[in-house]
Amino acid sequence: MNFDYAQLFSAAIPETVVVITAFLALLVDFIFLRNLPARTRTSLLATVTAVGCLSAIAWMGVSHSTYRLDDAIFVVNPMTQLVKQIILALTIFTAFISVQTNFTRHLGEYFILLLLASAGMMFLVSAENILAIFLALELLSLSLYVLTAFNKQSVFSAEAALKYFLFGGMSAAFTLFGLSLIYGVTGEMNLTAIAAKLAGKTTDPLFYVALVMTVIGFGFKVAAAPFHMWAPDAYQGSPTPVTSFIAAGSKVASFFILAKILFTGFAGAEGDAGWHHYISGWTPVLAILAALSVIIGNLAAISQKSVKRLLAYSAIAHGGYALLGILTADQKGFASLIYYVTTYALTVIGAFGVVAVVENYGGDKLSDFAGLSRRAPILSACMMVFMLSLAGIPPLAGFFGKFYVFTSAIQLGAKSLGLLWLVILAIAMSAVSLYYYLQVLKQIYVVDASDKTTVSVALPTQFVIVALAIAVVVLGCVPNLLVGKILAALSLG
Amino acid sequence: MTGQLDQLFVSLKQWLVSFLPQAAQPMAGILLSISAIIGAFATMFAITTIMERKILGRIQNRLGPNRVGPFGLLQPAADGIKMLTKEDIVPFAADKLVHFLAPVVLIIPVALALAMIPYGRNMTAVDLDAGILFFFAVGSATELSVFMAGWSSQNKYSLVGAMRAIAQMISYEMPLVLSTVSVLMMAGTLSLPLIVQAQSGYIYEILPRWNVFTPWGLAGFVLFMIAATAESNRAPFDLPEAESEIIAGYLTEYSGFKYALFFMAEYWGLFAVSGLAVTLFLGGWNAPFPFLQWVPSWAWFFAKLGTIIFGFIWVRGTLPRLRLDQLMNFAWKFLLPMSLINIVVTAMWHFSRVFQFVGAREMRWVLCALVLAIPYFFLGRALGEGRPAKRNYKFAE
Amino acid sequence: MHDAFFYIFAILTVFCAVMVVANPVSRSPITSAMFLVLTITCMAALFVQLHAFFLAAVQILVYAGAVMVLFLFVIMLLDLKEEERRRIKAVSAGLGTLAVGSILFLIIKSTLQFGQAGAIPPHTEGSTASLGKLLFSNYVLPFEILSLLLLVAMVGVILLSKKDLK
């Protein structure tokens, strides 16, 4: 048996680069940086991270090879490379936002975990085999649990980590149970082969158990209601850069892999969630999750006093919108999903970046943002962009994302407008969400500040936040920049 | 003649089994082997206890037991009768069932482990494809038994002893297993009889091809023996039973027959792990020189086993007990890295086989030994560095 | 003969597994843990019957040996009396039974309807060598991911358990 290691290695170069960067970050920190001031250390380590990630991104930009390891354990095609590039970009942003905060002295460990989490996401994106999916998911989750607990001075960080860990463990158990039942029913681990085996067997009741279990497991991961209970506490308690990473990077990877499992593995078992012609399958399950997420997320966000918590509930709601993209079960819906989660991730990292800055001057309460426009005009402007984008106001990326998802959902049911009920619900709830996003902006622009000191921002953080705001505006005005790439990758892959 | 002597026990078993009907033969063969092993090692246990006490006596400049029978040789029989007739005391607060099960849980895996070992040519009771792995697997059940004994006694000394024992066993299991990896790599199999076979034959027709005569084998043997000493809770790693500190550790609340079972199981564990060391590093039942091959294979095995056990006794009589922090540091900061380095050295040894020039064999020996010696030197120095200059006694001033 | 052994160990596995969570005699976590050890050992016996000796040995080595001992270590540090006093809510017990029962029903129904899942092709022959070859060829990437996973666990444990001097 001759196994082609060289080919596997050349396909996995980006992942290798990221993992090596992770080791390097730890090593550099241990050997050279121990005695420097914390902020310098973070900046330097963030630079190391950025260099590593950028070279991986550049490599993926240059090489256009496709690869498929036996049994689809590792699949490389233009689509996976695009998503990996997005994830790495998000990692870089997170790294630079960390410069602003000082929640730990163990920076080498922080960056190695951050990078290994991204490596986990990359493996996850490239996996089309349930074994590899589970392993990569665990690598990602375990890194995130530790990152959540990173602030050892704070009890809330420990509480958040414990909750996240327990719910994550539960969800992993569900996922594993579902996946092993699927293996039991089909005897295959490769998603394509599973779909082929299932083609004539969809009436097997065990398969539905497996399907529901898998969806529940991933429902926990993407924090879709009613499996969202961990999210607010975990988002609020963990260090803000980590929160942004959970909300952004992990979400992109999880949604991508959920879509891939459902589209590839459960192809032919879609069912129909239409208003009058219900057919059992995975779309009705997802439709319920989406509807609940949209309602619960938006309504619960209204009464929040903490901005991190507010963003957590808004993340649940946005998860609901994103699920609409999966519900369409076609290529266009898939493209809309990727566009949606990417723009959402960019926005939410920016928003959490602002929160991380403000946190240094008090806390993350809404009242701590009072009069921010006078204390930090640039940051406030950026926050306005992010909030309006999250609410879905026209020239911004958030608007186009929602628009794209909704239209693809409606077009699917062109014959019967089957998903129209869900789209109408989502739009209505979207209008509700405007209220609490404007609450934040009201604090920033209208209410007077009690504390008049100017907010000072570390240069790299400021740069990243402004860049993100510009990206949100540009992607909103010229959505084709990203959509074109996604569609091209889809047609190639 | 020599062949017949060599296969004496094998032929005996076949002859005995042949009286039975065809269907029952395999089962009867297994039962026979097991009872032979149990019988042999029960005897050996008796001999070892008296030898240990005699040798320790010599080392400590006294006579040792000399009252019962000629030279005190019947001492084990007297001890055995005493143990069996003693009252079996179970503490009132104890978890009765677990307390009762603990010695049983210990003795069964140890007996299973003994069944894995090739005692001579064609003398392996259970020949499994993954024999060595099975050996370690059943060996890990001893930790469970120690825990059961310590916890169920509801005695603080028992619990402290159990915690110490488990911490020690977990720490030393890693170097124990890792030091065997190099042997497995070179033999290319997990089956113990095949590992012995890989060590048969002679270099230059005279020098034995045992693993212990290679740099990685020597290092592996030393690491293995240290870890094995700790695994079987023998001095200088006998903290779990340190009499002067915690009475008798997890054995504190055991008496009578249960205590005897524990005692025997510990010695059996010692035999099992020594037998494994013989199999892995000392060529198993192979004769050291070609002209000594007329001696039966099982005699060689038991001679080597006896030598190793004598070594254990010698070490016990010579070295003082370690402190707990020294114990842990030694496992994690010295044994573990050394056993990992040893694996790398094994790979070096394997790949340097391609060089065929004159003196290549000697050169690679020296080279591999050097690669082992340098980290040994530095790791050993680092181990001594953290030592506090002056020890502060908190309670005993 | 072979079938008989299978049924004996299968029934034992299920029985012990039930005793882990719903032991009518003792509520002590130690008893549960002991039954978990038995469950794992019985599962190893099932592996042996499939001629997967390597898996059986690893199952015992890792789960019955290492993992369970760590479980017991943790239990040893807990207040067991409190655990024994804890009341189980009737609602949660009922819901749990319902969920398990319905899944069991579906599994039985599915087995009756579709027969056994059919001969799943043996991906790994029992022998250790073939397993090793597979691990170092096709499954080398999952193997490496696993090593990263363990690294993360190690970094995490050291980081979280170390006292922060401040």
Diameter of chain B measured on Cα atoms:
75
Length of chain C: 166
Residue spans of the domains in chain C: they are 1-86, 87-117, 128-166
Cβ neighbours of C58 in B, within 8 Å: 133, 137
User: Which residue in C has a C-alpha nearest to residue A19's C-alpha?
Assistant: C148
Cβ neighbours of A123 in C, within 8 Å: 141, 145
**Cβ contact B375:B338 at 8 Å:** yes
**Structure tokens given for C139:** 């499954």
In this complex, do A109 and C110 lie within 8 Å of one another by their Cβ atoms? Answer: no
Please name the chains neighbouring A, where neighbouring means 3+ C-beta pairs under 8 angstroms.
C
In this complex, do C117 and A5 lie within 8 Å of one another by their Cβ atoms? Answer: no
In this complex, do C58 and B133 lie within 8 Å of one another by their Cβ atoms? Answer: yes
Q: Which residue has the tokens 């003082």?
A: B320
Is the model's pLDDT at B342 over the cut of 70? yes
Neighbours of A476 (CB within 10 A): 21
**Rounded-to-integer distance, Cα A376 and Cα A316, Å:** 29
**Rounded-to-integer distance, Cα B161 and Cα A282, Å:** 55
* A180: Cβ contacts below 8 Å, ≥ 6 apart: none
Cβ neighbours of A149 in C, within 8 Å: 160
Least confident of A372-376, A472-476, B158-162, C160-164: C160-164
Phi-psi region of A271 (alpha: psi -120 to 50; beta: other; left: phi over 0): left
Q: ∠ at Cα A200 (A199, A205), nearest 5°? A: 100
Phi-psi region of C70 (alpha: psi -120 to 50; beta: other; left: phi over 0): alpha
Cβ neighbours of B148 in C, within 8 Å: 34
Length of chain B: 397
* Residue B27 at interface with chain C, using a CB cutoff of 8 Å: no
Q: Which residue has the tokens 């090692």?
A: B41
Is the model's pLDDT at A34 over the cut of 70? yes
Cβ neighbours of B133 in C, within 8 Å: 53-54, 57-58, 61, 128
**Cβ contact A117:C123 at 8 Å:** no
User: Of A69, A136, A142, which is closest to C156 when you measure between CB atoms?
Assistant: A142
**Rounded-to-integer distance, Cα A269 and Cα A283, Å:** 9
**Cβ contact A312:A446 at 8 Å:** no
Cβ neighbours of A187 in C, within 8 Å: 117-118, 120-121
**Rounded-to-integer distance, Cα A464 and Cα B321, Å:** 60
Measured in angstroms, the CA of C54 and the nearest CA of chain B are apart by 6
**Structure tokens given for A285:** 């399950």
Look at residues B54, B258, B57, B288 and name the one whose alpha carbon lies nearest to residue B145: B258
Computed over every residue of chain B, the mean pLDDT equals 83
What pLDDT, on the 0 to 100 scale, is given for residue C116? 56
Give tens-digit pLDDT for B35-89: 888 888 888 888 888 888 888 888 888 888 888 878 878 888 888 888 888 888 8
What pLDDT, on the 0 to 100 scale, is given for residue A133? 92
Is the model's pLDDT at C2 over the cut of 70? no
Look at residues B82, B70, B67, B77 and name the one whose alpha carbon lies nearest to residue B47: B77
Interface test with C, best of B104, B133, B160, B170 (most C CBs within 10 A): B133
Size of interface B-C (CB pairs under 8 A): 69
Give tens-digit pLDDT for A344-385: 999 999 999 998 888 888 778 888 888 888 888 888 999 999
**Structure tokens given for A156:** 């809330």
Where does B218-295 show beta strands of DSSP type E? Answer: none
**Cβ contact A288:A221 at 8 Å:** no
Cβ neighbours of C30 in B, within 8 Å: 95, 98, 151
Please name the chains neighbouring B, where neighbouring means 3+ C-beta pairs under 8 angstroms.
C
Distances in Å between the Cα of A257 and the Cα atoms of A16, A167, A304, A409, B113 are 21, 19, 31, 20, 46
User: Mean pLDDT throughout C69-80?
Assistant: 76
**Rounded-to-integer distance, Cα B142 and Cα B148, Å:** 10
Q: Is the peptide bond before B236 cis (omega within 30 degrees of 0)?
A: yes
Three-class SS state of C109: helix
Computed over every residue of chain A, the mean pLDDT equals 86
Interface test with B, best of C28, C37, C72, C124 (most B CBs within 10 A): C72
Q: Do chains B and A touch (3 or more CB pairs under 8 A)?
A: no
In this complex, do B130 and C57 lie within 8 Å of one another by their Cβ atoms? Answer: yes
User: Which residue in A has a C-alpha nearest to residue C156's C-alpha?
Assistant: A146
Give tens-digit pLDDT for C40-72: 888 888 888 877 778 888 888 888 777 887 887
What pLDDT, on the 0 to 100 scale, is given for residue A467? 92
Q: Which residue has the tokens 């463990």?
A: A169
pLDDT over 70 percentage in chain A: 94
Give tens-digit pLDDT for A6-25: 888 888 899 999 999 999 99
pLDDT over 90 percentage in chain A: 26
Measured in angstroms, the CA of A187 and the nearest CA of chain C are apart by 5
CATH C-level class of C1-86: mainly alpha
Cβ neighbours of C34 in B, within 8 Å: 98, 148
What pLDDT, on the 0 to 100 scale, is given for residue A138? 92
In this complex, do A152 and C160 lie within 8 Å of one another by their Cβ atoms? Answer: yes
**Rounded-to-integer distance, Cα A389 and Cα A373, Å:** 18
**Rounded-to-integer distance, Cα C12 and Cα C35, Å:** 10
Residue spans of the domains in chain B: they are 26-85, 88-382
User: Mean pLDDT throughout B131-149?
Assistant: 83
> Is the dihedral angle over the CA atoms B10, B13, B19, B20 positive or is it negative?
negative
What pLDDT, on the 0 to 100 scale, is given for residue C153? 92
Measured in angstroms, the CA of A332 and the nearest CA of chain C are apart by 31
**Cβ contact A156:A237 at 8 Å:** yes
* Residue B183 at interface with chain C, using a CB cutoff of 8 Å: no
What pLDDT, on the 0 to 100 scale, is given for residue A55? 92
User: Mean pLDDT throughout B336-344?
Assistant: 90
**Rounded-to-integer distance, Cα A139 and Cα A426, Å:** 33
Amino acid at C11: I
Is the model's pLDDT at B127 over the cut of 70? yes
In this complex, do C65 and B140 lie within 8 Å of one another by their Cβ atoms? Answer: yes
What pLDDT, on the 0 to 100 scale, is given for residue A395? 83
Taking a contact as any Cβ pair under 8 Å apart, which residues of chain A between 123 and 182 contact chain C?
Answer: 123, 131-132, 135-136, 138-139, 142-143, 145-146, 149-150, 152-153
Please name the chains neighbouring C, where neighbouring means 3+ C-beta pairs under 8 angstroms.
A, B
**Structure tokens given for B356:** 């065929």
**Structure tokens given for B103:** 């010695």
Is the model's pLDDT at C165 over the cut of 90? no
What pLDDT, on the 0 to 100 scale, is given for residue A56? 92
Look at residues B179, B367, B344, B200 and name the one whose alpha carbon lies nearest to residue B277: B179
Q: Which residue has the tokens 């603080």?
A: B156
Three-class SS state of B202: strand
User: Mean pLDDT throughout A282-292?
Assistant: 86
Amino acid at A190: N
Look at residues A351, A336, A345, A350 and name the one whose alpha carbon lies nearest to residue A479: A336
Is the model's pLDDT at C86 over the cut of 90? no
Q: Which residue has better confidence, A206 or A378?
A: A378
Distances in Å between the Cα of A222 and the Cα atoms of A347, B396, C124 are 17, 59, 34
Look at residues A176, A172, A180, A107 and name the one whose alpha carbon lies nearest to residue A145: A172
Neighbours of A63 (CB within 10 A): 13
Q: ∠ at Cα B125 (B261, B49), nearest 5°? A: 35
**Cβ contact B106:B142 at 8 Å:** yes
Neighbours of A158 (CB within 10 A): 16
- DSSP state, residue A150: T
Is the model's pLDDT at C120 over the cut of 70? no
Beta bridge partners of B207: B203
**Structure tokens given for B357:** 């020039």
Give tens-digit pLDDT for B202-216: 777 777 888 888 888
Give tens-digit pLDDT for C129-159: 778 888 888 888 899 999 999 999 999 988 8
Give tens-digit pLDDT for A39-70: 888 888 999 999 999 999 999 888 877 888 87
What pLDDT, on the 0 to 100 scale, is given for residue A449? 76
Give tens-digit pLDDT for A100-135: 777 778 888 899 999 999 999 999 999 988 999 999
* A474: Cβ contacts below 8 Å, ≥ 6 apart: A481
Give tens-digit pLDDT for B261-272: 888 888 888 899
User: Mean pLDDT throughout C10-27?
Assistant: 84
| Residue A144 pLDDT grade (very low, low, confident, very high; cuts 50, 70, 90) | very high
Where does A204-293 show beta strands of DSSP type E? Answer: 272-273, 278-279
User: Mean pLDDT throughout B256-263?
Assistant: 84
Where does A322-459 show beta strands of DSSP type E? Answer: none
In this complex, do B129 and C34 lie within 8 Å of one another by their Cβ atoms? Answer: no
User: Mean pLDDT throughout B172-195?
Assistant: 87
Is the model's pLDDT at A293 over the cut of 60? yes
Q: Which residue has better confidence, B308 or C81?
A: B308
Look at residues A268, A239, A208, A256 and name the one whose alpha carbon lies nearest to residue A100: A239
What pLDDT, on the 0 to 100 scale, is given for residue B170? 83
Phi, psi of A190 (to 5 degrees): -85, 130
| Residue A186 pLDDT grade (very low, low, confident, very high; cuts 50, 70, 90) | confident
Least confident of A269-278, B53-62, B309-318: A269-278
Least confident of A190-204, A301-315, A458-472: A190-204
